Amino acid sequence: MRSWARGGRGVLSLFTSPKPFQGHIGVIQRNALRSWSELGPEAEVLLIGDEEGMAEEAARSGARHLPEVERNELGTPLVSSIFAIARKSARHPNLCYVNSDVILLPDLLTAVRQLAGRFERYLLVGRRWDLDVPEPLPKSPGWEQELRERIRTEGELHTPTGSDYFVFPRTMFSALPPFALGRAGWDNWMIYAGRHAHVPVVDGTGAVTAIHQTHDYAHLPGGKPHFRLPESRGNVAMGGGRVSVFTIRDATWRFGPEGLVRRSWREAGLGRSFEAALYAGMGASPAARVTRMMLHPFDTARYYYWAARRRAGRLLKGRPAPGTRR
């Protein structure tokens, strides 16, 4: 077992690209940042980007601020750039991308040590707890236990479709498509890419406490949820189409009461387990997309119906319709 897996030196570099530190979003991002900063000397925190208040919050919390990041034509940060910056700048052997509104607790480090001591390559993901946190976290001792009690009484475990953190050795994910950050699709692709690379994809829900602080979508164009924005459709297309839309249900390992175990096909169901294995093996190829269309004819018809309506709407407005990819 590696010495750093036993805590001999730093274990984990957490990185994110926050939104501007304004209003309620500012409050919950400070809460998240504080929780990461309190993980101790085995972890470091990287804030990537140049949004309002980021430099000040990095200085206040002891995080490292890396302001340069590539953006798309709409000004949205690119996931590929964020990951490349983190890989180049991180001091520790394992990386953790985490959304900037998610509180993490020390059980994350315990899970990472166990995985890093067992696997050369892996991807750790997990479900989150949704919780209303309108105020700053208390500074008094015992705040973590109080938060765990609030999760038990007020929290709601999110469905397996949401992925808010990804932990992996820094040698992995060296080339990502130019996904738009904060839009749907790229997080699904991460799970698909782990399966396609034949590495253990681990559902950490039973071991890692991830708390998503609920908020509105006022920071997004038109106040729309991210999955309704055109950039989300672009992310799915860049990832290879719907064949790359994997969820936590498609993990191959999980943490449970008995520890780290292989996941049974029964947990996702025989049909989905077969499909996930098929797409992961075939890759995001034309053959895989045709296979999915044949397996899901009604879903395919609905998809192309709405795609045609979007094209017609764009043509009526005098704008060219972008290509679609299934």
CATH of residue 135's domain is 3.90.550.10
**Residue at a domain's end among 222, 254, 286:** 254
| 95 compared with 268, residue with greater pLDDT | 95
- Given a contact cutoff of 8 angstroms between Cβ atoms, the answer to whether 311 and 320 are in contact is no
Mean pLDDT of the chain: 89
With a cut of 80, say whether residue 306 has pLDDT above it. no
Of the chain, the end-to-end C-alpha distance in Å amounts to 43
Say how far apart CA 131 and CA 149 lie, in whole Å: 11
Residue 323 has pLDDT above 80, yes or no: no
In a domain, 317, yes or no: yes
Same domain, residue pair 189 and 321: no
What pLDDT is stored for residue 80 in this prediction?
97
pLDDT score, position 216: 64
Residues 146 and 90 in one domain: yes
Q: What is the pLDDT of residue 321?
A: 45
* Tokens encoding 292: 């999915």
Q: What is the pLDDT of residue 83?
A: 98
- Lowest-pLDDT range, 55-59, 141-145, 284-288? 284-288
> Is 103 found in the same domain as 53?
yes
My answer on whether 237 and 154 are in the same domain is yes
Task: Determine the Cα–Cα distance for residues 30 and 57; give it in Å rounded to an integer.
Answer: 8
pLDDT higher than 80, residue 314: no
Distance CA(232)–CA(206), nearest Å, equals: 29
Residues 230 and 321 in one domain: no
pLDDT at 36 over 80: yes
Closest CA to 97 of 41, 168, 154, 174: 168
Structural domain span for residue 114: 4-254
**Same domain membership, residue 319 and residue 217:** no
Calculate mean pLDDT across residues 215-244: 76
Task: Give yes or no: residues 140 and 18 share one domain.
Answer: yes
Say if residue 128's pLDDT is above 90. yes
For residues 269-284, average pLDDT = 93
Q: Is residue 281 packed enough to be buried (19+ CB in 10 Å), middle (13-18) or exposed (0-12)?
A: exposed
Q: Return the C-alpha torsion angle 13, 16, 20, 26, nearest 10.
A: -70
In a domain, 170, yes or no: yes
User: What is residue 249's predicted lDDT score, i.e. its pLDDT?
Assistant: 96
305 shares its domain with 166: no
Residue 303 has pLDDT above 80, yes or no: no
Confirm whether 263 is domain-assigned. no
Query: What does the pLDDT read at residue 221?
Result: 54
pLDDT of residue 141: 86
Token couple for 17: 């690209």
Average pLDDT over residues 204-227: 75
Q: Count of domains in the chain?
A: 2
pLDDT band at 293 (very low <50, low <70, confident <90, very high): confident
Quote the pTM value: 0.87
32 and 171 in a single domain? The answer is: yes
CA separation for the pair 256, 156 (Å, rounded): 19
